Structure 1
Amino acid sequence: MPTQISLLVYKGVPVDFSKYRHTALHALYSDGQYDWLHAVGAHPFFKFQKDSENPMSEEPIAWIPVCTAPDSVTKANIILAYTCTSVRNSNSDRDWNCQNWVGDALTELVKIGCLTKEERAVAIGKMVETILEAELEDDVMF
Structure 2
Amino acid sequence: MSSPTSARESGAEQETPAGKDGANRVAASTREHAQTLSILIFRGKPEDTPATRVTDLYVAANDDSNTNSTFRLDGQPGRYRAGELWNLAAPRLRPDYRSQIHVATLPTTSAVDTTLRDTIKGAAVNNEDPSWGCQHWVGDVVTTLQELGMISEDEGDRAIDAMMNIILAAPR
Give the secondary structure class of the aligned counterpart of 1:43.
coil
Q: Identify unmatched segments of 5+ residues in structure 1.
A: 137-142
Which of these residues, 66, 78, 97, is aligned with residue 60 of structure 1? 97
Give the secondary structure class of the aligned counterpart of 1:83.
helix
Q: CA RMSD in A?
A: 2.2
Identity %: 26
Q: Whose helix proportion is higher, 1 or 2?
A: 1
Do the aligned residues in 2 keep the contact of 1:7 with 1:24 (CA within 8 Å)?
yes
Which of these residues, 41, 51, 59, is aligned with residue 75 of structure 2? 41
The higher radius of gyration belongs to 2
For 1:107, give the aligned amino acid: T
Q: Whose strand proportion is higher, 1 or 2?
A: 2
- Which structure ranks higher in relative contact order (CA pairs < 8 Å, sequence separation ≥ 6)? 1
Which of these residues, 70, 80, 90, is aligned with residue 107 of structure 2? 70
Aligned counterpart, 1:4: 36
> Structure 2 length normalisation: TM-score?
0.71
**How far, CA to CA, are the matches of 2:35 and 2:150 in structure 1?**
9
Do the aligned residues in 2 keep the contact of 1:77 with 1:112 (CA within 8 Å)?
no
Give the secondary structure class of the aligned counterpart of 2:84.
strand
Equivalenced residues, count: 134
Q: Which runs of 4+ in 1 moved over 4 A?
A: 54-57
